[in-house]
Amino acid sequence: MTRVWKWNRPVTVREVLEDLQQERSIAYTTVMTVLDNLHQKGWVRRESEGRAYRYEAVSTRAAYAAALMNDAWSQSDNPAAALVAFFGMMSEEQRQALRDAIRIVQGPETSAPAPETPAPAPETPAQPPETPAQPPETPAQGRETPTAEPETPPPGPGAASDGGER
C-alpha cells in the first residue's frame, strides 16, 4: 500500500515489483498476490489493461489512519479516558498538529455572539437593562458557570469576547 499511496496513481504489478527490487529480491507472483489480496479486501480497485491490471488506492493514507484511530477509540469502554491517554503519548509536534486540525474542523468563529445582542435592544427602553444580564450566556459556549470567564478566557479563537489571546 505504501507504494500505491506514494505514487497516487494507478500502478501495475510490474511497477511495484521494479520499485521493491531496488531494496530487496522479491518475486513477481508475490507482488501480484499481495495486490490481489488488497483488492479482495477493498483497499484497492483495479482495472484491466491488456493482460494486466492497474491498481489504485480506494482511500488516502490519512483516511486509513483516521479509520484506524476511530475504530480503536470506538472499542474503548471509556472514550474520554482513552483520549486522555492518547494525548499523553503525543509529542509536542503531534499536539500542535492536533490543535491545527481542530481549528480547521471548527472553522473561523468570528462574531458569533454579535448578531444575538443587537436584536433585543431596538424594541423598547425597558429591554436594554435586561440585555446586560443575558451576555454571560452567549460567550460561555458550553461552560456552565459564567464566573470563570472573566478570570480565564476559554482557549481557541473567537471563544472570548476579546477574540482570545494566544
pLDDT for 135 equals 40
What number of other Cβ atoms are within 10 A of residue 89's Cβ?
Answer: 7
CATH 1.20.1080.10 is the classification of domain 2-57? no
160: DSSP letter? S
**53 φψ region: left (φ > 0), alpha (ψ -120 to 50), beta (else):** beta
First-to-last CA distance in the chain? 40
Q: What is the pLDDT of residue 107?
A: 84
How do the pLDDT tens digits run along the chain, 166 residues long? Answer: 999 999 999 999 999 999 999 999 999 999 999 999 999 999 999 999 999 999 999 999 999 999 998 998 889 999 999 989 999 999 999 999 999 999 999 987 654 444 444 444 444 444 444 444 444 443 334 434 333 333 433 444 443 444 444 3
Which of helix, strand or coil describes residue 55?
Answer: strand
What pLDDT was estimated at residue 108? Answer: 75
**Cα distance between residue 77 and residue 155, in whole Å:** 28
Residue 165 CB-half CA count within 13 A: 2
| pLDDT confidence of residue 92 | 95
